[in-house]
């Protein structure tokens, strides 16, 4: 009898990597071209949301085609920064990715980022072989805190939601995981308290049996 599959669904920014500074710089410059003087406080209040929701805050009547063009301009700048200035995984992440992969867990990136940003992350960090799928919020009807992106990732991995663990750093992501019927691990950061099943300040601090306790092996 084969073991029942299990999966880990990883958020990207603030969970796998910390590229908030790159996003701050590219949003600041892009919005400045549109006459918006973005502050750090404003940026922190919505960072992690889908681009259409961000632009809609400032330009509620902007046509969707124009939103898409501005969004792509911003993201192209972000990808240029990633390629030229580099990125590194957050503490403990590499070890967990490798340990879970070796243990037979299926893994996916499930992020609000555009697909091209997820691709450049995997390219620059050379971790693509550790993931079985990637899902962007652009591919589903509703972004986090709706559960859509995590449910799509579970479907791609062919793993039932109750056999999945979501790893997130934002409250909206943890809520999305809970609404998907999944267990959750929250990484504390600038977004405030998290109502996850397990909360940690760093993936490096998690006990080695954390994932097995949340979703035990089954047959």
Q: Which active-site residues does the annotation give?
A: 11, 13
CA nearest 93: which of 136, 47, 125?
A: 125
CA nearest 218: which of 168, 178, 159, 132?
A: 159
Is 174 within 8 Å of 166 (Cβ atoms)? yes
Cβ count near 190 (within 10 Å): 10
Task: Report CA dihedral (5, 6, 11, 16) to the nearest 10 degrees.
Answer: -100
Is 106 within 8 Å of 132 (Cβ atoms)? yes
Cβ count near 72 (within 10 Å): 13
Local structure of residue 50 (DSSP, 8 states): -
3-class secondary-structure state, position 57: helix
Is 139 within 8 Å of 115 (Cβ atoms)? yes
- Evaluate the omega torsion of the peptide bond into residue 145 and state whether it is cis, within 30 degrees of 0: yes
CA nearest 150: which of 131, 132, 174, 120?
A: 174
């Amino acid at each position: 009898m084969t073991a029942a599959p299990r999966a880990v669904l990883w958020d990207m920014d603030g969970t796998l990597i910390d590229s908030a500074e790159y996003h701050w710089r590219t949003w600041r410059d892009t919005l400045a071209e549109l006459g918006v003087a973005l502050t750090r406080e404003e940026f922190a209040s919505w960072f992690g949301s889908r681009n259409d929701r961000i632009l809609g805050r400032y330009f509620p009547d902007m046509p969707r085609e124009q939103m898409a063009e501005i969004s792509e301009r911003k993201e192209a700048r972000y990808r240029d920064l990633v390629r030229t200035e580099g990125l590194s995984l957050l503490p403990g992440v590499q070890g967990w990715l490798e340990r879970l992969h070796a243990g037979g867990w299926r893994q996916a990136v499930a992020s609000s980022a555009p697909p091209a940003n997820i691709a450049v992350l995997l390219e620059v960090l050379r971790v693509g072989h550790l993931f079985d799928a990637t899902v962007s919020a652009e591919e589903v009807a509703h972004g986090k805190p709706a559960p859509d992106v995590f449910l799509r990732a579970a479907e791609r991995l062919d793993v039932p939601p109750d056999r999945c663990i979501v790893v997130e750093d934002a409250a909206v992501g943890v809520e999305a995981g809970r609404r998907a019927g999944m267990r959750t691990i929250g990484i504390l950061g600038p977004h405030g308290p998290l109502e996850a099943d397990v909360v940690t300040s760093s993936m490096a601090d998690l006990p080695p049996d954390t994932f097995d306790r949340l979703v035990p092996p089954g047959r």
